[in-house]
Amino acid sequence: MERARRRARLDLRGRTPPSNARWVLAAALSVALSLALDMVAVHVAKTELPSTRHFSHFRLADYGTLTVVGALAGAAGWAAVVRLSSAPRWLFLRLAVVVTFVLWLPDVWILVQGATGEGVATLAVMHLLVVLVTYNVSVRLAAPSGPPVTEAGAAAERELAPLHLSEAAVRRIWSTMGLLVALELVLGVVVIVSVPFRRSAALIPARGTWVYAAHGAVGIVLGIGALCVLVLSTAATRMGRIGAVLGVGGIGVGLVGGVLASFQTTRLLGMVVMLVGVIVAGVGYMCPSLEALGKSEMARAASARAQLAAQAEARERTASNGGAPVTSDRVSSIGHSAAPPTV
- Nearest-angstrom CA–CA distance, 248 and 332: 72
pLDDT digits (tens, 9 = 90+) for 149-178: 455 545 555 554 545 678 888 888 999 999
Q: Which range has the top average pLDDT, 176-180, 203-207, 235-239, 293-297?
A: 176-180
Shared-domain flag, residues 120 and 15: yes
238-261 and 20-48 helices cross at what angle (nearest 10)? 30
Q: Which of 136, 161, 186 is the last residue of a domain?
A: 161
Same domain, 171 and 139: no
pLDDT of the residue at 324: 55
Tell me, yes or no, whether 226 lies in a domain.
Answer: yes
Residues 176, 307, single domain; the answer is yes
Residues 269 and 191 in one domain: yes
Total domain count, the chain: 2
Enclosing domain of residue 103: 7-145+157-161
Q: 5-9, 32-36, 307-311: lowest mean pLDDT where?
A: 5-9
Give the span between the Cα atoms of 289 and 168, in whole angstroms.
Answer: 9
Q: Give the global pTM.
A: 0.54
Q: Are 58 and 91 in contact (CB under 8 A)?
A: no
Q: Based on the fold, state whether residues 194 and 270 are members of the same structural domain.
A: yes
The whole-number pLDDT of residue 237 equals 80
* Cα–Cα distance for residue pair 241/288, rounded to 1 Å: 9
- 107 and 223 co-located in one domain: no
For residues 93 and 156, the answer to whether their CB atoms sit within 8 Å is no
- Residue 76 maps to a domain: yes
Residue 254 near residue 261, CB atoms below 8 Å: no
pLDDT, residue 130, reads 92
- The answer on 77 and 176 residing in a single domain is no
pLDDT tens, 268-325?
888 888 899 999 999 999 998 888 888 888 888 888 898 888 888 888 888 777 655 5
Return the number of other C-beta atoms located less than 10 Å from residue 132's C-beta. 16
Q: CA 134, CA 212: separation in Å to the nearest integer?
A: 30
SS (H, E, C) 9-26: CCCCCCCECCCHHHHHHH
